[in-house]
Amino acid sequence: MALPVISQTQYAIGIDIGGTNTKFGIVDARGDILYRGAISTRKHEDVHDFIEELYEAVKPAVETVGGWNHIKGVGVGAPNGNYYKGTVEYAPNLTWTGIVPLASLIKTKFALPAWLTNDANAAAVGEMMYGAARGMRDFIMITLGTGVGSGIVANGQLIYGHDGFAGELGHTIIIPGGRHHPGTGAYGSLEAYASATGMKNTAIEMLAEHPDTPSELRKHSSDELESHHVYECAVKGDKIALQVFEYTGKILGMALANFVMFSSPEAIVLFGGPTKAGDMLLQPVREHMEANLLPIFRNKVKLIFSLLPESDAAILGASALVWENRD
């Protein structure tokens, strides 16, 4: 990616649309957020009302940086976002149904160019622009959270595919006939193991398989158990919790090996809650990734954690779409 030519006083608006709230920020080309704000997503059943409130909330922020002529464009990260069409399509967590032409609504209302993609792709662009992947032309971003998202950069460009939906690595099948994913119906997809729910399910399975192994995880009912409990117990040396990280790392490592043999990235950037576990996660991931690689790929790929602060990553990623675009 050629470095964009940006005057000193240009900013991007980054918008992160979530099911409950929409956050935004005014971001400079170095990734400093000069202004932050948020509005409710959920309360607007009509997307036009949402756009109106968003505009009114952003306006004072724009004035603080010198007015609209200092804004280069708007970047939006949204679930099920399609980069080519600028649409959000059938997003289960949003109140708007069907296909919503969000980028064009923003373009019209804000009178600015606007780009939109899904959360994980935005995160990858953010990492390339401001984070751990600065200067890299080939890397893969894996976001570990409620789901497992991904963004793939090759030849310095995000891979969107022919339809704008490329990079759904969380849904690739790692263990054929393996664990059922209730959301997609698939068996053995990466997300069924490496998402928060996946780690919780691994913990429940391991507690049942080793009834005689003492574990603090047993204090929580299955309903109540969450992936952060696994982390908290693992830090204290809880054997079952450590095994959950070992197993999660194994599946993730196997998956990463396949991804490496696809696009041979310089690095894989991991993002999200489980990365707090550091080497407890990274060590088995690395071990099983290397073990499954063809020799020519071994000991070459950097496995690194995101450098973007988790709370700002979505806004930063969205804003990076503005600097990254080549239109």
Residues that bind its own copies (CB under 8 A): 89, 136-138, 152, 154-155, 157, 159-169, 171-176, 184, 186, 254, 257-259, 261-266, 292, 294-297, 300
- Minimum distance of its own copies from residue 66's CB (angstroms): 35
Task: Round to whole Å and give the CA distance between 315 and 299.
Answer: 33
CB of 167 to its own copies, least distance (A): 7
Residue 43 CB, nearest distance to its own copies (Å)? 28
Q: Between residues 137 and 239, which has the closer beta carbon with respect to its own copies?
A: 137
Nearest distance in Å: CB 137, its own copies:
7
Query: Of the two residues 145 and 265, which places its CB atom closer to its own copies in the complex?
Result: 265
Q: Min. distance of Cβ 109 from its own copies in angstroms?
A: 28
Q: How far is the CB of 73 from its own copies (least distance, A)?
A: 21
User: CB-side exposure of 227: number of CA atoms within 13 Å?
Assistant: 21
The rounded distance, in Å, linking the Cα atoms of 276 and 172 is 24
In the complex with its own copies, the residue whose CB is nearer, 168 or 312, is 168
The smaller minimum CB distance to its own copies, of residues 34 and 261, is found at 261
C-alpha span between 89 and 83 (Å, rounded): 11
Minimum separation from the CB atom of position 111 to its own copies (A): 29
Dig out the tokens for 146 from the structure: 């409620």
How far apart are alpha carbons 181 and 198 in whole angstroms? 9
Calculate the alpha carbon distances from 114 to 19, 212, 272, 320 in Å: 20, 57, 26, 12
CB of 293 vs its own copies, minimal distance in Å: 8
Within 8 A by CB and 6+ apart from 206, the residues are 240, 243, 244, 247
Alpha carbons 244 and 200: distance in angstroms, whole number = 9
For 280, other C-beta atoms within 10 Å of its C-beta total 19
List the beta bridge partners of residue 16.
Answer: 23, 77
Q: Which is nearer to its own copies, 85 or 228 (CB)?
A: 85
Shortest CB 154 distance to its own copies, Å: 5
Of 37 and 188, which CB lies nearer to its own copies in the complex structure?
A: 188
Rounded to 10°, the helix 196-209/227-235 angle is 60
Classify residue 39 as exposed, middle or buried by CB count within 10 Å of its CB (0-12, 13-18, 19+).
middle
Give the residue with the Cβ less far from its own copies, 138 or 216. 138
Q: Which is nearer to its own copies, 112 or 304 (CB)?
A: 304
The residue behind tokens 């698939």 is: 186
Toward its own copies, which CB reaches closer, 163 or 310?
163
CB atoms within 10 A of CB 4: 14
CB atoms near residue 305 (< 10 Å)? 16
